[in-house]
Amino acid sequence: MNSRQSLLRQLPSVDSLLLTPSLQSAATEFGLDEVKQHVRQVLADLRNSLRNGDAGAEVELQKDNMPDLISQRVLQAVQLSAVPVLRPVINLTGTVLHTNLGRARLPEQACQALYSLAAQACNVEYDLETGKRGDRDKHVQQEMCRLTGAQAVTVVNNNAAAVLLVLNTLARDKEVLISRGELVEIGGSFRIPAVMEAAQACLHEVGTTNRTHLQDYREAVNAATGLVMKVHTSNYAVQGFTASVGEQELAALAAEHGLPFVSDLGSGTLGDLQRFGLPPEPTVRSVLEAGADIVTFSGDKLLGGVQAGIIAGRADLIERMKANPLKRALRVDKLTLAALLEVLKLYRDPQSLPEKLPFLRDISRSQQNIREQAEQLLPAFRKTLGPGLVIEVRETSSQIGSGALPLDLLPSAALVIKPEPGATGSDAKLTGLAAAFRKLSTPVIGRIHDGEFWLDLRCLDESEALLDLLPELLDQV
């Protein structure tokens, strides 16, 4: 009998493995069924390796104490599968509101609210005074109306949902007038023409890509028109020979014909961002004051809060949206409402906002402050990543992201890592390096640019968070 067959025969049974002390304690921690499943999988893998003539597995199993070796493997597999798949990462991409990394980080106050409400029943849609069914939007409405001057507010899953609900409610089977210069695509699959179609509204384009005049809208109004719409071109800019029509004129034209005027603002600024060195952005209040009947915007772009779409404006129109069955499909849960409300409350005191709201804290950091942090981290990086890699501090530009203010770059600083000049396999080294940072117990996400690995430190609150991870890189790169 060859050694492979004898090894196959010697493989311990599932039950005997489950009796080993290490797997007994694993069963207490992770559950017996979970451990059993991994025992079966590890045994099946070993059987396959042996049958396929895997010499490595043979040598390994011929060592003493096969059951210990196998239970060790099982333990590793159990622990690995217990690591949460959704976890915190450190965003050093240089994009502050990174859609794939969850956009805005929430302030402490919002996290506290989430924590205290998550495990409890709460009055999300229950009126504590009357003991009857309440209004889910009421909690946020008061605060939002105070900040924007809107009459009423309703909250849905995200701004894409907000636009969908507005169009479906106010312009189903009707025409929506919109400038050809505003048929935007916002990453993913949000494209104005596609959303119109999904909402069963008919797109009626007016003007041209670069120039649209009030007269274009005026000539397009007809018996089938449902509303006039303006979409903030938040993620691109048309420059040169251009013309577009402002909110005030569009609002007046719509009112003249008894039509609602809707403005999709996208990023949704609530306050003055110029204090943070950003260019002027229309605020929700200014658009409503200019005469918009309805404004839609995101909760997690320039507002710096949680994923949500906010529809603000005329009370009678908001009532119609709330009566639309789609609202039920698009509504948000108690946790979203709680987090959003806490973020809005921070806006009561604009002076302390940059301290308390992570998004504003990130964008208001000076280049000098970020550079100093990079200089402080440099020696530890050089020491850990050692010879073979060149590590420097460099100036860079961060961007806001999520399609907000695309042209405005924030002066920043980064740690830049690259293979020593002339090193072989530089490209593989670089992707290996990026992968090693992603494999850290708290993954660190940077970006590869021009043959170098960049870690823009703008969104790094605590240097220690990064320093503490460095030792894990020692045997990785």
Ligand X SMILES: *Cc1c(COP(=O)(O)O)cnc(C)c1O
Adjacent-strand bridge partners of 33: none
Q: Which is nearer to ligand X, 228 or 413 (CB)?
A: 228
Strand, coil or helix: what is 355? helix
Residue 231 binding ligand X, by CB under 6 A: yes
Q: Which is nearer to ligand X, 268 or 446 (CB)?
A: 268
Residue in the block written with tokens 């709680």: 338
Residue 160 binding ligand X, by CB under 6 A: yes
Cα separation, 354 vs 217, in Å, equals 41
Q: Which is nearer to ligand X, 143 or 281 (CB)?
A: 281
Q: Which is nearer to ligand X, 107 or 309 (CB)?
A: 309
User: In whole angstroms, how large is the CA radius of gyration of the chain?
Assistant: 29
From 466, 417, 459, select the one nearest 444 (Cα to Cα).
466
Residue 110 binding ligand X, by CB under 6 A: no
Least separation in angstroms between residue 166's CB and ligand X is: 11
Residue 403 binding ligand X, by CB under 6 A: yes
Residue 137 binding ligand X, by CB under 6 A: no
Residue 281 binding ligand X, by CB under 6 A: no
Adjacent-strand bridge partners of 126: 133
Q: Which is nearer to ligand X, 271 or 309 (CB)?
A: 309
Residues 170-189 vs ligand X: string with x where CB under 6 A? --------------x-x---
From 335, 405, 266, select the one nearest 110 (Cα to Cα).
335
Residue 190 binding ligand X, by CB under 6 A: yes
Residue 336 binding ligand X, by CB under 6 A: no
Please write down the HEC assignment for all residues of 375-433. Answer: HHHHHHHHHHHCCCEEEEEEEEEEEEECCEEEEEEEEEEEEEEEECCCCCCHHHHHHHH
Residue 444 binding ligand X, by CB under 6 A: no
**Touching ligand X, residues 283-312 (CB under 6 A):** 298, 309
Residue 269 binding ligand X, by CB under 6 A: no
What is the maximal distance between C-alpha atoms in the chain? 96
DSSP state for residue 201 in the 8-state scheme: -
Q: How far apart are the first and last CA of the chain?
A: 44
Residue 408 binding ligand X, by CB under 6 A: no
- Choose which of 181, 266, 282, 419 interacts with ligand X (CB under 6 A): 266
Task: Give me the residues that bind ligand X (CB under 6 A), please.
Answer: 158-160, 163, 184, 186, 190, 231-232, 234, 264, 266-267, 298, 309, 403
